[in-house]
Structure 1
Amino acid sequence: MPESRPDQLRQILETVRTIALVGASEKPHRDSHSVMAYLQGRGYRVIPVNPRLAGSQLLGETVYPNLTSIPDAIDMADLFLASHRVGPVVDDAIRKGAKVVWMQIGVIDEAAALRAEEAGRQVVMDRCPKQEIPRLGVPLARAV
């Protein structure tokens, strides 16, 4: 898997608007919760995905059990999952039409990344948008 280049990361973060955050947590001390809140504060719409919390509200958004149950289009799937659980979720992201599959720090699945790339998706692995946005100087997201 080629290393994500700063210009590629910046382009992704400047063009996506709707992010499905898979593995969202209702617990404020969890990274997925703080990343969701941060991304919302930066102007992105973040849709939480967690089968255990499905139907509840998290940071003002309805939680869905999986990517394919989200009624709206998504630009990016941000995955907070153990690497061994990523494959089927990446396949769902492809089916859902996400343009980007972003795997969080420590989340690596080369085979799933290859499937996503072969399906025309951009893939980022082992990175966090909450760290990349300030590092790259990405401006606030603008509503479409």
Structure 2
Amino acid sequence: MSVDLEKILRETRTVAIVGVSADPSRPSHDVWRYLRNASDYELYLVNPTVGEIDGAPVYPSLADLPVVPDLVDVFRRHEHLPEVLAETIAVGAKTLWLQQGLWHEQVARDGAAAGLRVVMDRCLKVDHARLIGPRG
């Protein structure tokens, strides 16, 4: 399953970061900070256990977002990925992006069958910096 990462990144306008952490030492927080500072994406943070991060609201689920995100960037454990896929399909997002270290063949197959572009085991920050660059 081949996807054009640069095309995805250039077409994306809204990103939901699922599993974002308020802890600045966590990778999800680092990716959010990078995207906030280096991209033009509208960012939406999702984590049912956090109310806000640096003044930005954090939503309990994808269904609670005020918009349909183009891309859902996932920082959740492997066993939660099917649930995140179901939520991603339900809200009508276009791309499911599983962060570096996350790989789930069944989620990829089911996501593709539902019309999603699925990216696995890639860091959104790294690929954005490499292919688009700050405010590119």
TM-score w.r.t. structure 2 length? 0.92
Decide which moves more: 41-50 or 8-17. Answer: 41-50
Structure 2 match to 1:115 = 110
Structure 1 match to 2:13 = 17
Structure 2 match to 1:96 = 91
For 1:30, which of 26, 30, 40 is the aligned residue? Answer: 26
Correspondence 1:44 to 2:50: no
Could you tell me how far 1:71 is from its partner in structure 2? 2.2
Residue 47 of structure 1 aligns to a residue whose secondary structure is strand
Could you tell me how far 1:139 is from its partner in structure 2? 6.2
Letter in 2 for 1:27: D
Correspondence 1:58 to 2:53: yes
Which string of whole-angstrom CA distances, capped at 9 and with x for unpartnered residues, describes residues 86-136 of structure 1?
Answer: 101111001101100000011111111111111111000000111112222
Could you tell me how far 1:59 is from its partner in structure 2? 3.6
In structure 1, distance between residues paired with 2:133 and 2:2: 19
What is the CA RMSD across the aligned residues, in angstroms? Answer: 1.5
In structure 2, distance between residues paired with 1:39 and 1:15: 15
TM-score w.r.t. structure 1 length? 0.87
* 8 Å Cα contact 1:10-1:138 kept in structure 2: no
Following superposition of structure 1 onto structure 2, how do residues 80-91 of structure 1 map, counting pairs within 5 Å?
80-91=75-86
Aligned residues: 135
